[in-house]
């Protein structure tokens, strides 16, 4: 526990120190994107996932140095390996835009480290019997195998789909990973506890750079990594239902988008926008019957037009609701 807290502190310091230099570097290399929700669409540095990944890698390395190699370290390394594949897919997309379906299929490959680990060390990584609330474990081996390709790719992509406003993803992920760390501390998931604490440390340092008005966007490298890592931890340490519950806002948004678009579509190629921004930077829901339904559009329809900062705050509170349900699921 103390080693994990120290590793989280290392992740925090490395992120805090490296972020300004990395953001300047990205800007100088022209890795920028227009901020669509601000008047004048200012250019903002992109691929902030590099900052997040670097911080988590530094935190993980220090945790390994402090504890030595153990079963928990191997499990955490497997989960981090899966997250790293998501990060690389996202980085390619940040630098050269990938199609929606291509990106989704590429993230499916991120399950490979988990599959290899389960085949080589079945004593460490077991699957087929997910831990479920109120009923205990359920033997659903074939269904589990059928869903396994989506175990990491699903969380990665739904987190990416909700990464649309300044500060939303780091804010929601701080809440999600903190709750997962708490549950892991109580239930003895050492790998999940360590990696969750490290991610929280990194995101606390990173958040001010992505919060409104953002100086850096997470990019797909950031959102796919954070979601993918959450999915990998769910499989490796059997927190399937807990992680599912933590990601309910993201899953609902992803589901709405998939149903509205009837398939995967890159957000840059969406013909009708679900929301639009006026000259003052206020977000309004689209009134077009053919516009896709997203969680942001639904929120604006329920609560009225709002600023980007207000919607980001709403998402944070919504994630707290999901965290409460996750605690109820884990500690019933």
Partner 1 sequence: MKLLRAWAGLTALIIAAWLLVLLFIFVLDLLLPVVLSNVLRALLGLVLLAGWIAGMAVLVEVVRRRVAQKPAPESCAG
On whether the CB atoms of residues 110 and 233 are closer than 8 A, the answer is: no
Count of C-beta atoms within a 10 Å radius of residue 108: 19
H or E stretch covering 83: helix 71-95
Among 313, 327, 330, 331, binds partner 1 (CB under 8 A): 313
Tokens encoding 172: 């929601």
Q: Is 285 a residue that touches partner 1 (CB under 8 A)?
A: yes
Distance, CA of 80 to CA of 61 (rounded, Å): 11
The residue (of 108 and 311) whose beta carbon lies closer to partner 1 is 311
Interface stretch with partner 1, choices 25-33, 110-118, 179-187, 248-256 (CB under 8 A): 248-256
Query: What is the x/- site pattern for partner 1, positions 140-179, by CB under 8 A?
Result: x-xx--x---------------------------------
Selected from 64, 92, 185, 252, the binder of partner 1 by CB under 8 A is: 252
- 329 to 127, 305, 322: CA distances (angstroms): 20, 34, 10
Of residues 103, 102, 198, the one with CA closest to residue 156: 103
CB of 56 to partner 1, least distance (A): 27
Q: Rule CB under 8 A: which of 44-103 touch partner 1?
A: none
How distant is the alpha carbon of residue 244 from its chain centre?
A: 12
Cβ–Cβ < 8 Å for 64, 58: no
Closer residue to partner 1 in complex, CB, 4/176: 176
Q: With binding defined as CB under 8 A, does residue 300 bind partner 1?
A: yes
Select from 249, 277, 312, 330 the one that contacts partner 1 (CB under 8 A). 249
Question: What is the residue-wise DSSP string for 49-66?
Answer: HHHHHHHHHHHHHHHHHH
Give residues in contact with partner 1 (CB under 8 A): 132-135, 138-140, 142-143, 146, 244-245, 248-249, 251-252, 255-256, 259-260, 280, 282-285, 287-289, 291-293, 295, 297-307, 310-311, 313-314, 317-318, 321-322, 325
């Amino acid at each position: 526990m103390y080693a994990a807290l120290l590793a989280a502190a290392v992740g925090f310091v490395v992120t805090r120190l490296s972020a300004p230099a990395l953001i300047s570097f990205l800007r100088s290399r022209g890795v920028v994107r227009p901020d669509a929700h601000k008047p004048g669409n200012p250019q903002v540095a992109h691929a902030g996932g590099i900052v997040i990944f670097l911080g988590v890698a530094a935190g993980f390395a220090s945790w390994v140095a402090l504890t030595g190699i153990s079963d928990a370290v191997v499990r955490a390394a497997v989960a981090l390996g899966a997250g790293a594949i998501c990060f690389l897919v996202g980085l390619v997309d940040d630098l050269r835009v990938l199609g929606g379906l291509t990106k989704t299929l590429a993230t499916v490959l991120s399950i490979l480290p988990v599959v290899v680990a389960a085949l080589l060390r079945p004593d460490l990584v077991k699957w087929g019997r997910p831990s479920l609330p109120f009923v205990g474990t359920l033997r659903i081996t074939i269904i589990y195998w059928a869903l396994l390709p989506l175990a990491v790719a699903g969380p990665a992509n739904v987190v990416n789909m909700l990464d649309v406003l300044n500060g939303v993803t780091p804010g929601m992920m701080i809440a999600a990973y903190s709750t997962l760390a708490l549950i892991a501390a109580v239930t003895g998931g050492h790998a999940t506890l360590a990696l969750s604490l490290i991610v929280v440390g990194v995101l606390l340092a990173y958040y001010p750079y992505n919060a409104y008005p953002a100086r850096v966007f997470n990019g797909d490298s950031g959102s796919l990594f954070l979601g993918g890592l959450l999915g990998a931890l769910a499989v490796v340490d059997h927190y399937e239902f807990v992680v599912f519950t933590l990601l309910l806002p993201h899953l609902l948004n992803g589901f709405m988008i998939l149903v509205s678009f009837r398939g995967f579509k890159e957000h840059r190629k969406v013909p009708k926008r679900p929301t639009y921004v006026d000259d003052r930077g206020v977000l309004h829901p689209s009134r077009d019957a053919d516009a896709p339904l997203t969680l942001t559009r639904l929120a604006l329809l329920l609560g009225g037009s709002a600023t980007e900062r207000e919607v980001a705050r709403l998402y944070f509170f919504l994630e707290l609701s999901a965290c409460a349900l996750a605690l109820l699921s884990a500690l019933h």
